[in-house]
Amino acid sequence: MADITPRPGLSIALPDMPPTPLHARLDACGSDAQALLTTFEDICAERFGVMLFTVLQWDPSRDEIQRVHSNDPDHYPMGVWKPMGPTPWGAELLKAGRAVLCHDEAELRWAFPDADLLVRLDCVANLSAPVCQNGRVLGVASISNVSGHYMSNDLALYATLVQYLVPVFSKTSL
């Protein structure tokens, strides 16, 4: 198994940030899960650039995540369970509640044991952040783009925006 030591500059704790107009757009969606997903993806496309957007629900009893949303269901279908809890990525996001940035293929392979498809699709840069409620990780939202696309300063804003996705994880919203 890979070293689970956090890599310098690769992960951050959830930051406190003042609200921005992007936050206000998500606030306007209320608890409508579909509106939140659509607006969130639109914001990410505008602000960060997105080739792949997925949302994954965390089940700590199974130590696995399940994909509950994907903008590319042909390659990343919903309902798939993945054992990401025991990975370095899982240690950072799911267990420590820290957002993770992968700049390039080496960092992507550190994070994802199944990185081959992402590499083939040229989705090598990745921002992943935990969606938390009352200190508990409910799941993760991830966006991907070409190598080097995301920068360290993107991670803090992204990590605050994903917190608006909490309603996506309620049983009645899915």
Between the alpha carbon of residue 11 and those of residues 20, 29, 103, 166, 174, the distances in Å are 22, 28, 11, 21, 29
Hey, how many other C-beta atoms are within 10 angstroms of the C-beta on 35?
14
Please report which confidence band the pLDDT of residue 33 belongs to, taking 50, 70 and 90 as the band edges. Answer: very high
Those residues with Cβ within 8 angstroms of residue 103's Cβ, 6 or more apart along the chain or in another chain:
125, 147, 148, 150
Residue 7 pLDDT > 80, yes or no? no
> Domain map of the chain by residue range?
50-164
Among residues of the chain, what percentage have pLDDT more than 70?
Answer: 87
Mean pLDDT value of segment 153-157:
89
Which ranges in the chain belong to alpha helices (H)? 21-27, 33-47, 88-90, 105-111, 116-120, 152-161
What's the whole-number average pLDDT of the chain? 86
The confidence score (pLDDT) of residue 1 equals: 28
pTM of the model: 0.86
Q: Which amino acid is at 84?
A: M
CATH number for the region 50-164 comes to: 3.30.450.40
Q: How confident is the model at residue 85 (pLDDT cuts 50, 70, 90)?
A: confident
Residue 3 has what pLDDT? 34
Q: Is the predicted pLDDT of residue 5 greater than 70, yes or no?
A: no
**Rounded-to-integer distance, Cα 134 and Cα 66, Å:** 21
Does residue 47 register a pLDDT over 90? yes
